[in-house]
Amino acid sequence: MTRTEVLVVGAGPAGIAAATAAAEKGRSVIVLDDNPSAGGQIWRGATVGVPRRADTQKQRAIERLQRSGAHLLAGHCVFNADASGTLQTFGETASGSVAEEFRFQQLVLATGARERFLPFPGWTLPGVFGAGGLQALVKGGYSVAGKRVVVAGTGPLLLAVAAHLAEDGALVSSVLEQASLAQLAPFAALLWEHPAKLVQAARFRAKLWKTSYRTGCWVVEAIAATGGPRLAAVRVTDGNRTWTEPCDLLACGYHLVPNTELAALLGCKFRGSFVQVDNAQRTSLPNIFCAGEPTGIAGLDAAVVQGEIAGLACAGRSDASMQECAAAERVFASRMEKAFALRPELHSLPRPDMIVCRCEDVRYDSLRGHTGWTDAKLQTRCGMGPCQGRICGPAIEHLLGWRPVSVRQPLFPVPLDALCSHDETRKIDKLSELIEEKA
């Protein structure tokens, strides 16, 4: 069991900023992350070869984190926590799984976001990936050189992914954004007020001079090659016309949904789908803070500002200028939400015989007649597999309007050997706790 004053979950931009700020103000800080290295998703680095260009913002942030005295523990997957101040993780090593327990005074949730996937016929075929998913796999050593790729879905991520894949030698034939041009225009106009973001968008577009960027278009079906379960083409529509685009890979994601399972387990209050926080990023629980995407999908700059505010708050400090930045980023976030709102036609993507829950292979038609999650889980096993509804949950919320009902520990499937690996001190600790409870 390890004690720390401040425990940060997630070593993406928000978590790094929070940990750095708290540690620089003299607090003892541990940052946990599930991934093999720090950076989160947006700052995910290539693990193969030499990076083409240094991401200076990321590098500076990580160097500052290291200097701050905060300890980073990668490969730690949080599966349980209690607002009274304990949190449990497991990690997988070559020799097996190990569980660990942490005690904290203050907790910062910087758990980030994941892609939203909407099911469509053929979405389980090999060759179909998330948009950020394919980018992450390429950073992990998968080669897309010479492959024909269609990038589709919605959100600012599509352009970034397409640019990255093109740089890696992929032949990105088209980027299909489901939002209409009219819907996107106010967001594009707002970029003029955020010059850094505008420059970034222009840089991405410049790398895609061979690619068509189509708004108001979406993939309705992924078609398998004759003779094998392997992607050969996608059917695309603009609502009036439907056509076929041959491709080897499809990178398709519908913007982001927040990772809020840990906040829900702890009992933090929500505002819609997001964790409710005050100006100091404090949740409804006084010793628990939340920063970045779980408080509202707002991107990198907002995550960094909110992380720093949360970290300072853990050390009993605040900074007025950062509040102004945070407010500006909130405007950006609400504009982004409107720009990439999902069009109603996407409700009719699934066919009755199509799998919606990939873990348990539950068909869409088997959900008919069920009114919500509890019923559907009991009768069909939908959302009961290893991902625990993280993929089908947001999809079914979009399709049928079902909100998640309950979050229980373990938050991730934990190998039994991890639970058996507890060291003796922990056992004694637990025992004495039990004795205290009984007394």
Partner 1 sequence: MRETLSLTINGASRQVARGTTVAAAMLLAEQPCRISVTGEPRTALCGMGICFECRAVVNGVPHRRTCQLLCEQDMAVETNP
Site for partner 1, rule CB under 8 A: 34-36, 41, 44, 46-49, 75, 77, 92, 94, 96, 114-115, 117, 124, 126-130, 132-138, 140-143, 229, 259, 355, 358-361, 385-387, 390-391, 413, 415
- In which residue are the tokens 């922990």 written? 426
CA nearest to 400, candidates 417, 375, 429, 424: 375
Secondary structure (3-state) at 294:
helix
Q: Closest distance between partner 1 and the C-beta of residue 388, in Å?
A: 9
Q: Could you check whether the bond before residue 410 is cis, i.e. omega within 30 degrees of 0? A: yes
Q: Closest distance between partner 1 and the C-beta of residue 81, in Å?
A: 18
Pick between residue 167 and residue 238 the one whose CB is nearest to partner 1: 167
Pick between residue 22 and residue 355 the one whose CB is nearest to partner 1: 355
Pick between residue 46 and residue 400 the one whose CB is nearest to partner 1: 46
- In which residue are the tokens 């300890």 written? 71
Pick between residue 141 and residue 186 the one whose CB is nearest to partner 1: 141
Pick between residue 115 and residue 329 the one whose CB is nearest to partner 1: 115
Q: Closest distance between partner 1 and the C-beta of residue 4, in Å?
A: 24
DSSP letter, residue 282 = B
Q: Closest distance between partner 1 and the C-beta of residue 358, in Å?
A: 6
Pick between residue 65 and residue 113 the one whose CB is nearest to partner 1: 113
Pick between residue 27 and residue 390 the one whose CB is nearest to partner 1: 390
- Dist. CA 290–CA 281, nearest whole Å: 6
How many other C-beta atoms can be found within 10 angstroms of the C-beta atom of residue 176? 26
Pick between residue 361 and residue 423 the one whose CB is nearest to partner 1: 361
Q: Are the C-beta atoms of residues 71 and 396 closer than 8 Å to each other?
A: no
- Dist. CA 303–CA 294, nearest whole Å: 10
Q: Closest distance between partner 1 and the C-beta of residue 120, in Å?
A: 13
Q: Closest distance between partner 1 and the C-beta of residue 73, in Å?
A: 14
Q: Closest distance between partner 1 and the C-beta of residue 117, in Å?
A: 7
How many other C-beta atoms can be found within 10 angstroms of the C-beta atom of residue 392? 26
Q: Closest distance between partner 1 and the C-beta of residue 97, in Å?
A: 8
Q: Are the C-beta atoms of residues 168 and 147 closer than 8 Å to each other?
A: no
Q: Closest distance between partner 1 and the C-beta of residue 132, in Å?
A: 7
Pick between residue 316 and residue 386 the one whose CB is nearest to partner 1: 386
Q: Are the C-beta atoms of residues 291 and 281 closer than 8 Å to each other?
A: yes
Question: How distant, in Å, are the alpha carbons of 60, 243, 362 from that of 354?
Answer: 46, 21, 8
Pick between residue 37 and residue 105 the one whose CB is nearest to partner 1: 37
The angle, 0 to 180 degrees and rounded to 10, between the axes of the packed helices 195-206 and 157-167 is: 40
- In which residue are the tokens 């919320």 written? 397
Cα-Cα-Cα-Cα dihedral of 201, 203, 207, 209, to 10°?
Answer: 70
Pick between residue 201 and residue 224 the one whose CB is nearest to partner 1: 224
Element counts in the chain: helices (H) and strands (E):
13, 21
How many other C-beta atoms can be found within 10 angstroms of the C-beta atom of residue 214? 16
Q: Closest distance between partner 1 and the C-beta of residue 116, in Å?
A: 11
Encoded amino acid at 115, one letter: E
Secondary structure (3-state) at 279:
coil
Q: Closest distance between partner 1 and the C-beta of residue 344, in Å?
A: 25
- Structural element, H or E, at residue 72: strand 71-73
- Joined together, the tokens standing for residue 289 give 């803070």
CA nearest to 14, candidates 285, 305, 275, 278: 305
